[in-house]
């Protein structure tokens, strides 16, 4: 009798314990969309665009768009759903109806055009009114930002993924544009003015952050110390190894961020700032970052190449990726930002479908945030206009191609010379070295769109470099007005 009583009590307690779970599995879940889908949004044109959200498990989701396309899918056992909707060429405004049983959501003022993801650190985050006078002609630019076909979605700087639920797409007008990324806005404006089609920008950026924070753990594992990535500040943490504040196991595999309040943890921004918008349909990415990696510039080519391939893999799309070369800034004598600029330049040779906006002429000696964001956006747009949209334009300043040792001088050839190479004044900033690796300032002159470099102090020159300082005022351009990139002819300029 005692055993039966105990069994009955156990059964009753088990019933009480399981009942909430059973009810939860059967209870309806309110139909919802990922926050990236809202009124005023922009879809990528001529694309099969994913749309996703949540609803009651096992229910049908039907999506209908006023441009004539529809799609349906059934939610999985967790209530998640994703379907794909085909878009035509640019146009709008349209509406989209999402329905699940008696529940429905209506999206209005939806445009179809070109969508770009903007990311990086503070120079991409920098808003149109970040501070007084932070942008050239700031008041004028804000007051005249009347572009109803330019829209932006800002992923908020939140490591816990909560604030994004309150975000929505904003139309470019003087009231909204104050919260727009300046670089991304000027990029979008240039595209819109040249192509006269809607432009959407998804801005996910965070000041002071390094490239490692934006890269997935899987990719970082592939870029371990055996792949020339020297993780910094390595020391023991309990039975594991700790790199900075990211915990890895004894095999040097990244597990998870350790300090969830630090945006510079390995992979933390990938999880909190990027994953919520994957796989939203995009044309490509613009990226302005690198200042936070000046301290490990020697790793940056591998790191950026890895991050680009990582993002393309996550989207399953070989999209275009254009980045801004960091601008000159004084930094300190111990910092070698020219090494980071050169690492960025080298990415062009190892990573397909990339381009670099050279900013050597807009740097400010005592401000790491150049006020001239207009030219940053425009130069990024030049790359897209030529390479993605077929415009017949010059999209880059001169880039080092190769050099040949002549009798007492070095002849340097460049790509992207445009209509020709020019110097604004006496050509300066070149240095040459012999086999001893000691560099001396050199005389340089343009001859037949090549540069001849020599110095009386180097009898047998071997290597050449240009703009090899943290901060400089360059005077070497192509005739289209785009500056040449700094460079070193050495593969490892600080070790040889």
Task: Say if residue 45's pLDDT is above 70.
Answer: yes
Beta strands in 304-454 (DSSP E): 320-324, 354-357, 399-405, 410-415, 421-423, 430-433, 439-441, 443-447, 450-454
- The pLDDT tens digits of the residues spanning 83-109 come to 999 999 999 999 999 999 999 999 999
Averaged pLDDT for residues 206-212: 96
Mode of pairing for the β-strands spanning 430-433 and 439-441:
antiparallel
Q: Round to whole Å and give the CA distance between 36 and 168.
A: 7
Q: What is the pLDDT of residue 243?
A: 41
CB within 8 A of 304, min separation 6: which ones? 211, 323, 343, 344, 347, 351
Q: What percent of the chain has pLDDT over 70?
A: 86
Task: Say if residue 227's pLDDT is above 60.
Answer: no
Averaged pLDDT for residues 375-397: 98
Q: Are 96 and 64 in contact, with CB atoms under 8 Å apart? A: yes
Distance between alpha carbon 222 and the CA centroid of its chain, in Å? 20
- Select from 211, 201, 232 the least CA-distant residue to 42: 201
Both tokens of residue 70?
Answer: 């529809």
Range in 44-58, 246-260, 403-417, 481-495 the model is least confident about: 246-260
Cα–Cα distances (Å) from 266 to 34, 204, 244, 251, in that order, read 25, 17, 9, 16
Q: Which residue has the tokens 């329905």?
A: 99
Task: Say if residue 224's pLDDT is above 90.
Answer: no
Q: Round to whole Å and give the CA distance between 157 and 121.
A: 11
Instruction: Evaluate the omega torsion of the peptide bond into residue 17 and state whether it is cis, within 30 degrees of 0.
Output: no
Q: What is the pLDDT of residue 223?
A: 83
Q: Round to whole Å and give the CA distance between 452 and 96.
A: 61
Secondary structure of residue 104 in the 3-state scheme? strand
Q: What is the pLDDT of residue 493?
A: 64
Task: Say if residue 28's pLDDT is above 90.
Answer: no
- The pLDDT tens digits of the residues spanning 108-167 come to 999 999 999 999 999 999 999 999 999 999 999 999 999 999 999 999 999 999 999 999
DSSP, residue by residue, 422-475: EESSS---EEEE-TT--EEE-EEEEETTEEEEE-TT-SS--EEEES-SSS----
Both tokens of residue 71?
Answer: 């799609």
CB atoms under 10 Å from CB of 1, counted, come to 5
């Amino acid at each position: 009798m005692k055993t039966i009583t105990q069994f009955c009590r156990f059964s009753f307690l088990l019933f009480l314990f399981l009942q909430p779970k059973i009810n939860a599995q059967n209870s309806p879940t309110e139909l919802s969309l990922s926050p990236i889908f809202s009124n005023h949004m922009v879809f990528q044109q001529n694309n099969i665009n994913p749309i996703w959200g949540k609803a009651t498990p096992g229910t049908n989701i039907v999506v209908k768009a006023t441009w004539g396309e529809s799609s349906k899918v059934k939610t999985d056992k967790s209530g998640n759903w994703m379907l794909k909707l085909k878009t035509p060429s640019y146009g709008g405004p349209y509406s989209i109806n999402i329905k699940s049983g008696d529940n429905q959501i209506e999206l209005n003022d939806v445009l179809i055009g070109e969508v770009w993801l903007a990311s990086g650190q503070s120079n991409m985050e920098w808003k149109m009114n970040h501070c007084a006078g932070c942008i050239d002609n700031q008041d004028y630019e804000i007051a005249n930002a009347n572009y109803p076909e330019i829209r932006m979605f800002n992923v908020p700087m939140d490591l816990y993924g909560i604030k994004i639920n309150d975000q929505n797409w904003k139309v470019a007008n003087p009231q909204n544009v104050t919260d727009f990324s300046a670089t991304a806005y000027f990029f979008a404006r240039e595209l819109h003015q040249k192509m006269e089609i809607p432009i959407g920008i998804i801005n996910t950026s965070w000041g002071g952050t390094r490239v490692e924070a934006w890269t997935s753990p899987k990719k970082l594992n592939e870029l371990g110390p055996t792949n020339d990535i020297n993780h910094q500040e390595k020391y023991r943490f309990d039975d594991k190894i700790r790199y900075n504040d990211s915990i890895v196991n004894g095999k040097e595999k990244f597990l998870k961020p350790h300090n969830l309040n630090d945006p510079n943890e390995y992979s933390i921004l990938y999880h909190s700032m990027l994953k919520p918008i994957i796989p939203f349909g995009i044309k490509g990415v613009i990226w302005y970052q690198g200042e936070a990696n000046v301290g490990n510039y020697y790793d940056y080519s591998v790191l950026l190449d890895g991050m680009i391939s990582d993002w393309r893999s996550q989207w399953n799309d070989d999209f275009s990726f254009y980045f801004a070369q960091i601008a000159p800034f004084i930094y300190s004598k111990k910092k070698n930002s020219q090494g980071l600029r050169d690492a960025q330049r080298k990415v062009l040779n190892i990573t397909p479908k990339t381009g670099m906006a050279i900013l050597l002429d807009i740097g400010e000696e005592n401000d790491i945030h150049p006020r001239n964001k207009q030219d940053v956006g425009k130069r990024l747009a030049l790359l897209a206009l030529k390479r993605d949209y077929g415009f017949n334009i010059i999209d880059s300043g001169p880039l080092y191609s190769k050099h040949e040792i002549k009798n007492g001088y070095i002849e340097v050839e460049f790509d992207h010379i445009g209509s020709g190479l020019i110097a604004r004044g006496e050509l300066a900033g070149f240095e040459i070295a012999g086999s001893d690796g000691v560099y001396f300032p050199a005389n340089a002159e343009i001859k037949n769109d090549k540069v001849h470099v020599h110095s009386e102090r180097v009898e047998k020159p071997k290597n050449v470099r240009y703009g090899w300082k943290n901060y400089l005022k360059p005077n070497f351009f192509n005739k289209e007005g785009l500056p040449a990139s700094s460079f070193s002819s050495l593969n490892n300029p600080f070790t040889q």
